[in-house]
Amino acid sequence: MAQVPDAKDTATTEPVKPSVKKLDATRYQIGEITFDQKTREIRFPCKVNMTEGLLEFLIVHRNGKLHESLLLTDVSPTQLNLAFTLLNYTPSRELYPLPNATGGTSANFPEVAPEIKAAARITLEVEWTEEGKIRRVPVNEWVQHSVKLTPMPAGPWVYGASEFHDGQYVPELTGDIASIFLSPSAIIHYPGDDRSDDTIWAPYPKRVPAFETKLTMIVAPYRDANPIPNP
pLDDT at 10: 37
156-169 burial, b at 16+ Cβ within 10 Å, e below that, comes to bbbbbbbeeeeeeb
- Angle in degrees, CA 153, 145, 193, rounded to 5: 55
pLDDT at 187: 98
pLDDT at 207: 97
How many helical (H) and strand (E) elements, i.e. helices and strands, does the chain have?
3, 16
The residue type at 211: F
In a domain, 141, yes or no: yes
pLDDT at 107: 84
pTM: 0.87
pLDDT at 104: 81
> How would you write the pLDDT of the chain (231 residues) with one tens digit per residue?
544 444 444 333 344 567 899 999 999 999 999 999 999 999 999 999 999 999 999 999 999 999 999 999 999 999 999 999 999 999 999 998 888 888 788 888 899 999 999 999 999 999 999 999 999 999 999 999 999 999 999 989 999 999 999 999 999 999 999 999 999 899 999 999 899 899 999 999 999 999 999 999 999 999 864 544 444
In a domain, 206, yes or no: yes
Domain range for 208 = 40-221
Which residue from 142, 161, 164 is spatially nearest to 152, judged by alpha carbons? Answer: 142
In a domain, 63, yes or no: yes
In a domain, 227, yes or no: no
In a domain, 229, yes or no: no
pLDDT at 196: 84
Cite the DSSP H helix spans in the chain. Answer: 77-86, 114-120, 170-174
In a domain, 21, yes or no: no
In a domain, 137, yes or no: yes
Residues 143 and 58 sit within 8 Å (Cβ to Cβ) = yes
Domains: count for the chain: 1
pLDDT at 228: 46
In a domain, 217, yes or no: yes
pLDDT at 86: 97
pLDDT at 230: 45
Quick one: CA dihedral 157, 60, 207, 150, positive or negative? Answer: negative
